[in-house]
Structure 1
Amino acid sequence: MLQVTSLEQLKAIKQAEIVNLGAFEDGTELIAEVKKPNLVDLMMHNKIPNSLMSVAMKVFNGKTKETADRVDSGDIKSFKEMFGLMETLAESCLVNPTYSQIKELGIDLTQDQLMTILIYTQGGVKALENFRKQQTNNENNQPSTEVQ
């Protein structure tokens, strides 16, 4: 027999996760508390500007790679749209520190950090496991071609 989910159970649902979003240029790692935003909710509440709606719909429909390929091909409009969307997702995703706190310090997230947030929003922590492989060093302490 089905039981109604209690309010205590609902409160216990983990709302945020702590994730390594990668390093800044100086090597400082950004470890942040993040939550997975609801893209439909962002769209419905006009938190995604109309100019970014088409790229948001592609990402929402699982066409992130197709959109990223257009950016890689040098399509300036796609590049601006994709990074606009990634900033919007960073604003919605970052809990601690918040995106605005980072910006107030005069710090910009790196492309890799923004891409990590985008991938997180699409697949959660599991998606990041495959995205971020660690490069190993050989016996001469030089980067090797192997990843772990």
Structure 2
Amino acid sequence: MSAAPFHLLLVEDELADALLFQDMLAEQDQDITVHHVQNGQEALDFLTRPDQTSRPHLIVLDLNMPIMNGHEFLERVKAIPEVRSIPVLVLSTSEHPSDIHRAYDQQVSGYVVKPGNYQEYMHVLETIRAYWRGLVRLPSLEEVIRGRVGS
């Protein structure tokens, strides 16, 4: 897998879920930096702040959150040219077909239902890490800033 640092934005309102995600991911890969925010508004604020050096390579998004839920976040973030090319992976407890369909309509890169036990969760995170960290090629931050992506 790639040895370059990888930045991930975790948008999750449940602190216990966020800590579990971060701990399990750290067991698999020490070169992944996770920045955690608790709702869509905090995620938008993080993504649109003037300091562009910490743009994530991947956004992992819960749907059911206070203040600004995941669907509202997707509507807003996909309308911002400077950040709309950042892939978004939904990680939600919702298996409802309308949530899944709506998320894909809002241009998510994937939709994963949160597993029910530790072993399944570890497998899901390993698969996510292997795919986004090793298999997929993502645009560089410089390409995104210069507008080569998404134009």
TM-score bracket, shorter-length normalisation: under 0.3
Greater Cα radius of gyration, structure 1 or 2: 1
* Structure showing greater relative contact order (alpha-carbon pairs closer than 8 Å, 6 or more residues apart): 2
- Give the TM-score normalised by structure 1: 0.28
Larger fraction in helix: 1
